[in-house]
Structure 1
């Protein structure tokens, strides 16, 4: 369901870089676990999108939105990702972001990355930070 919604809405917003290729079987395994033993936590089975500068030691890239890092794969999960997985969250994918978290320049366009392009605000003529674009 979420993958379908993302594939439709992402054409308008350009907000998601990639979907975890094993998200569905992971979610199904967590659903089965919940039925058998109950939830691990309130996050059990909840899909989570991470910004692309958070390491996941799996089949997803960690590029910080940069073409220079487009083929980078982390060796292990960031601590926050370890905690989310332990709690039963489903790491659904990686979200587009301002390249290198806007580290390169204060004048850089908000929500733009060389790897993913411009993120668009789904609420209209605003940048992704909510500032009106005239």
Structure 2
């Protein structure tokens, strides 16, 4: 599902409303799937991925032990654990993701140049002659 999303926490601490309003939403495809290790790695059975719309294989956001907390008409609230790596040291923080559907971009197409009335062609020729 193509969504816009906001992280509601930073390093496990809830963000103030002023910071949330200033945040730029992330855009991507939201996926909820079972972990390849089925929870045997201690990360839980469900994984939530926010994948870039470009089709890259590296997720923008990856939540382990993901749970769907709330479904509303305005969007989804998904909770889980986000991991950060500093060399060989891993830290895991609670993270909540608010995601809402994003309508697909509508590409505006120029009208075909071959379809025009004779009056329009004469007008365009007259304008070209004036220039």
Q: TM-score range by the shorter chain?
A: under 0.3
Question: TM-score under structure 1 normalisation?
Answer: 0.22
Whichever structure has more strand as a proportion of its residues is: 2
Structure with higher Rg: it is 2
